Amino acid sequence: MAAGESAGGVGRVPVCLCVLCGLPAAGKSTLARRLPSTAAQHGWKVCVVPYDDLIPERAFQNRGEEDGVDFHDMHTKWKSHRQAVLRCIEQFLEEPQDLTELPSSCQISRAAWEQCIEALQQQPPYDHDQAPLLFLLDDNFYYPSMRYEVYQLARQRSLGFCQVYLQCDLESCISRNQSRSKPVPTEVIVEMVKRLEPPNVQKNSWEKNSISLSTTDNLPDRDVQRVMELIASAMSNPLFPVEDNTEQTEADRLRCATSVVHQADQACRRLISDAMKTARGNQVPPGHMKCLAAQLNESKAAFLLNLRRQMLQEATFIREEDMDVERVVKRAVDVFDHERKEVLSQIITGIK
């Protein structure tokens, strides 16, 4: 059911979900702070949705020191939290009068969500039911699958949808990040550069309402105006929940790739565990053990990244149920196993 069709919902007032994506410290939050005043001149109300504040801090503390930065594992664990954010937005569209009500068993910060809604209430125009509504979703959104979840919500509820990719060089992001009160670990930013997949309309037709802004320097007013024009266009051209074979194929492709990569990740973890046991059995010193763990995890991360990209390219017309996933995973993991044995052999040989 579209937002305008639900009793007590936001009616036929235009609503847009705007994804702000890019590296940490690329300028997403800065842009989110600049847009509300400009939007107010258009008679819009703006709800900034800062994922860093909404998702509990404990969700970001799941990495072991020896394992290093495991983005696939982080992506899997954060998925439920990101979906909870979208459920809160959806419930608000259903029942805007229950401004601070959260779905049961919600996995986001209640206090942070209340701040989002209170800030929305305090904006002119104060006639909430008549003002077009803009949600600015502020997160890294480094995988297309993360952004696709937002697109699906917009399509299901006949909302506008657009994306703004803030492109900033790594050195500038690291420098800005270090001045934050709670900086993101530098190694996380470095690893995210390798995994970040900006909006690509050639690969994903659903990303057509996207623009890219360079934010290495201060964002000029003309770029803010470009964002406003993009949002206005998205509001005027909402998505519709119609059957579309192309979009279904895209969903199948993402699901298939995720399944293969997840199973490959689990298999690689077991192989790394076996390698560490073998190394301990060969009395490898602690310093070399740490080096071995780092090399194996770095090799695994690169392997999974390449596998995911390969799956997204080759599985365009293949559904998961039509693929022998177990066979695909085994063949892929054999490649990593070969690398694992070489690294292990070099470490053991080096201490003898």
Kindly tell me if the per-residue pLDDT of 65 is higher than 70: no
Contact 8, 226 (CB under 8 A): no
pLDDT in tens, 213-222: 999 988 899 9
Task: pLDDT band for 63, please (50, 70, 90 cuts).
Answer: very low
Report pLDDT for 7.
36
Task: pLDDT band for 245, please (50, 70, 90 cuts).
Answer: low
| C-alpha dihedral sign at 184, 177, 36, 126 | positive
Kindly tell me if the per-residue pLDDT of 25 is higher than 90: yes
Q: Which of 45-54, 89-98, 141-150, 296-305 has the lowest mean pLDDT?
A: 89-98
128 or 208: whose pLDDT is higher?
208
**CB neighbours (10 Å) of residue 286?**
8
Please give the sequence-ordered ranges of beta strands (E in DSSP) within the chain, or none if there are none.
15-21, 45-50, 133-138, 160-167, 210-214
Report pLDDT for 104.
52
Kindly tell me if the per-residue pLDDT of 68 is higher than 50: no
Quick one: what percent of the chain has pLDDT higher than 70?
79
Contact 42, 49 (CB under 8 A): no
Task: pLDDT band for 97, please (50, 70, 90 cuts).
Answer: low
Give the span between the Cα atoms of 81 and 83, in whole angstroms: 5
Kindly tell me if the per-residue pLDDT of 177 is higher than 60: yes
Q: Which of 44-48, 138-142, 174-178, 200-204 has the lowest mean pLDDT?
A: 200-204
Report pLDDT for 10.
54
Task: pLDDT band for 182, please (50, 70, 90 cuts).
Answer: confident
Contact 311, 260 (CB under 8 A): yes
Kindly tell me if the per-residue pLDDT of 186 is higher than 50: yes
Report pLDDT for 224.
95
Model confidence pTM above 0.85: no
**CB neighbours (10 Å) of residue 1?**
12
Is residue 26 helix, strand or coil? coil
| Residue 74 backbone dihedrals phi, psi, to 5 degrees | -60, -45
Give the span between the Cα atoms of 74 and 61, in whole angstroms: 9
| Residue 167 backbone dihedrals phi, psi, to 5 degrees | -100, 120
pLDDT in tens, 36-52: 999 999 899 999 999 98
Kindly tell me if the per-residue pLDDT of 12 is higher than 50: yes
Using only C-alpha atoms, the chain has a radius of gyration, in whole angstroms, of 22
Kindly tell me if the per-residue pLDDT of 255 is higher than 80: no
Report pLDDT for 76.
53
Kindly tell me if the per-residue pLDDT of 66 is higher than 50: no
Is the N-terminal amide bond of 144 cis, ω within 30° of 0?
no
Kindly tell me if the per-residue pLDDT of 152 is higher than 60: yes
Kindly tell me if the per-residue pLDDT of 4 is higher than 50: no
- Token code pair at residue 208: 């057509």
Average pLDDT for the chain = 82
pLDDT in tens, 257-284: 888 888 999 999 999 999 999 999 988 8
- Token code pair at residue 192: 């995210």
The side-by-side arrangement of strands in the sheet containing 15-21 is 45-50, 133-138, 15-21, 160-167, 210-214
Give the domains, in start order, of the chain with CATH numbers: 3-236 (3.40.50.300), 245-346 (no CATH)
- Token code pair at residue 290: 């740490």
Report pLDDT for 208.
95
| Residue 90 backbone dihedrals phi, psi, to 5 degrees | -65, -40
Give the span between the Cα atoms of 214 and 221, in whole angstroms: 13
